[in-house]
Structure 1
Amino acid sequence: MDGVIATGVRATARIVAREDGRGGTALPVLEGEGPLALRRTRASGDEARVMLVGAMSGPLGGDHFAVEADVGRGARLRVGSAAATIALPGQAKGESRYDVRISVGEDGELQWLPEQLISVCGSDLRVVTRVEVAASGRLVLREEQVLGRVGEEPGRLTSRLALRVAGRVVLDQELACGPGAPGGWDGPAVLGGHRAVGQLLVVRPEFGGEPVVARMLGESAALVPLAGPAALVTAVAADGLRLRRVLDEALASLA
């Protein structure tokens, strides 16, 4: 209908993990809306496991999705996704949003390992991930972004990742790619013509006393210590499969 502008879909998924008092982890809150469905899967030891299942394609233009995870003292949680997230153009005007908000309490542990985000030609997505980790908390967080499907140009993708440990900011960075992004994003100082980019963020209390040593991990990844008990791996690759291999090898080296 003329004059009517679609506003997009709004949806939030929430996960709360707590010690269950029997040596395991309970999930007192596990709820999703619309396209964001959450499923508990088989636990491993004292670790609860959750899968994020997309019930429809998206986010589309104008959509605003949010995922929140709160891991309490002593709880252990692993979160994955059933398939890649695909940013698509839609009828609504303006960018779509995907917000991730994570908190990990004292002696808590979270492994945040979703599948890749694919930026489709014509899409416009802004992803913001904010993480709070207590002084004795532990975190492994993986981000993987693929710019365009095979043979197509990417959409516009802006990704911000911010981390605070024990109330202190140790990382706050943003990368913009695709049409309309600041010049040079595909140049040798940023992606260098690669079409997949990823990050691995690791927080461990022992890094406070023995920081990791900055070094290259092969030709396409770098490991750097952060100003706190944390380390960051940044990698680029020709495609998503190669990117996953690089990040898996980086995580194994940190172990």
Structure 2
Amino acid sequence: MTLAGVRAGARVVARPDGRGGTALPVLDGEGPLALRRTRAAGPGARVMVVGAMSGPLGGDRFTLAARVEQGARLHVGSAAATIALPGQTGDEARYDVRLDVSDGGELYWLPQQLISAEGSDLYVTTRAELHAGARLVLREEQVLGRAGEQPGRLTSRLTVRIAGRTVLDQELACGPGAPGGWDGPAVLAGHRAVGQLVLVRPEFADEPPAARMLGECAALVPLAGPAALVSAVAPDALRLRRLLDAELERLEPLGR
């Protein structure tokens, strides 16, 4: 590592193996982004992101890309939470996730939480490009600070496009230096864990799930396309996960 920070990338491509399963012709990672194929229960492929180094630290630039081709099914998780830490330079770190799912492909993107440690500064972007007929389950969770500490600066942007049309594009900035009000009643209301669950299903075009509140701190809303969004805040990561998992099980009982 130099004072300029680490540059690292990882890439996975999933395609049908011709025998009813899913092959991974590309499974490459470097530096802190190691990819490991693990045992899958069904015909899909399962990959874990294993952090080989701490980070991202200030000044680091990470890129993680996944492509699912027609007829393939891919489940991506992570072995542990990602912790954004302060670096030697005080520069912003970046973590960019790029997802591409073809017509008839299916991607479950279910990493562990991203934790913003005190003194860190991270800008993370997740961009999902889906063809018509693609399926996606995407979970994103952020925790502001470890136990007993203040959060770092965290800016997160999530974009989902289906057949060239943007159905979701949202950005949230939290922590020191973020626009005022991020911790107020209109945004996090004092909570320290925030998460989203995006589901894209072709059948939602004809029968979208109905908008509804999920208790006091979460809501399900249909998007302008065959997709739905669950947004939630919670006092801690455990309660956030329980809430998102319960809604995922209701909407996708056989998918995980």
How would you bin the TM-score normalised by the shorter chain? over 0.9
Structure 1 CA distance for aligned equivalents of residues 93 and 192 of structure 2: 21
Residues 86-134 of structure 1: CA distance to partner in whole angstroms, max 9, x if unpaired?
Answer: 0000102310000000000011000000000000000000000000111
What residue number does 2:112 align with?
A: 115
Tell me, what secondary structure is at the counterpart of 2:208? coil
Question: What TM-score do you get using the length of structure 2 for normalisation?
Answer: 0.97
- Pairwise CA RMSD: 0.8
Partner of 1:203: 200
Indicate the residue corresponding to 2:167 in structure 1: 170
2:77 corresponds to which of 58, 75, 80: 80
Per-residue Cα deviation, 1:186-223 (whole angstroms, up to 9, x for no partner): 00000000000000000000000011111101121100
| CA displacement, residues 115-171 of structure 1 (integer Å, 9 cap, x when unaligned) | 000000000000000001111110000000000011110000000000000111101
Percent identical pairs in the alignment equals 75
What are the superposed Cα offsets for residues 28-85 of structure 1, whole Å, 9 maximum, x if unpaired? 0000010100000012221100000000110000000010000000100000000000
- The reply on whether 1:52 has 2:52 as its aligned counterpart is no
Aligned to 2:3, what secondary structure does the other structure show?
coil
- The CA distance in 2 between the partners of 1:153 and 1:93, in whole Å, is 17
Distance 2:214 2:144 in 1: 22
1:69-218 → structure 2 map (5 Å cutoff) = 69-218=66-215
4+ runs deviating over 6 angstroms = none
Structure 1 contact 6–93 (Cα < 8 Å) conserved: no
TM-score when normalising by structure 1: 0.97
Are 2:29 and 1:32 equivalent residues in the alignment?
Answer: yes
How many pairs does the alignment contain? 251
Q: Choose the corresponding residue for 2:226, options 210, 217, 229.
A: 229
Within 2, Cα distance between the matches of 1:132 and 1:11? Answer: 22
**Alignment-derived partner of residue 217 in structure 2:** 220
Runs of at least 5 residues in structure 2 that lack an aligned partner in the other structure: none
Distance apart, 1:253 and its partner CA: 2.0
| Structure 2 SS opposite 1:44 | coil
